[in-house]
Amino acid sequence: MSRHIIGILLFGVILVGCNFIPPSDPLKSDSEVFDEFVRHHSEYSELVELIREDKFVFSVNQDFVLVGEDWPTRWWDNSQPEFSFERWEKYKSVFNRLPSSKYQWVEKKNGLIVFSPMSSASQDIDGSYEWIYIGKGLTYSEVPLPTVDSLDSLGFTDGPDLYKNIGDGWYVYRDTGIGKPE
């Protein structure tokens, strides 16, 4: 019985103590994202080519495909002419060559080709039921984007998507959002 009480007290102390640790930037650094890009440049480039060729595809991942531009809907089977299982297998084979392939996706977003974040985190906002989300990953754009020198050390601050140019239309991005229960 006393071991349970000690365990509960220890858990409580750790839980309370964690609330006093100042939040740091839990995301991969710009250089870590760039290094992963360099190691897998051919895979990311191949995904850009695939999704550019698929005019009606909005988003692709290991589990489903969204087609359509204005109101993307889930693609179900080969009876829909916009896509095919064979094409999906091409995407999956490229995803499987990337780290964390199970969670990879690529989508078209406002003229950009955006890849799933390489790292992300969320933090409660002032003990409320809302939280802030931050993510960091790669994007490709044929049009130059406004950039910043560094995405490191921004912590949990909300704001617009930010980009760091890494060359030839490629950028490291950092996006944020506020989540709240419905």
Which residues lie closer than 8 Å to 172 by C-beta, 6 or more apart? 30, 33, 34, 37, 136, 137, 138, 151, 163, 164, 166
- Which run of H or of E encompasses 137? strand 131-140
Per-residue pLDDT band at 102 (split at 50, 70, 90): low
Considering only CA atoms, which of 39, 58, 34 is closest in space to residue 136? 34
pLDDT of residue 48: 96
pLDDT of residue 171: 97
User: For a pLDDT cut of 90, what percent of the chain falls above it?
Assistant: 46
pLDDT of residue 114: 94
Per-residue pLDDT band at 10 (split at 50, 70, 90): very low
Considering only CA atoms, which of 78, 140, 77 is closest in space to residue 106? 140
Residue 20 confidence (pLDDT) above 70: no
Per-residue pLDDT band at 15 (split at 50, 70, 90): very low
Mean pLDDT of 149-161: 85
Considering only CA atoms, which of 75, 74, 73, 91 is closest in space to residue 83? 75
Mean pLDDT of 32-59: 94
Mean pLDDT of 87-115: 88
Question: Computed from CA positions of residues 89, 91, 94, 95, in that sequence, does the dihedral angle turn out positive or negative?
Answer: negative
Residue 17 confidence (pLDDT) above 50: no
Residue 130 confidence (pLDDT) above 70: yes
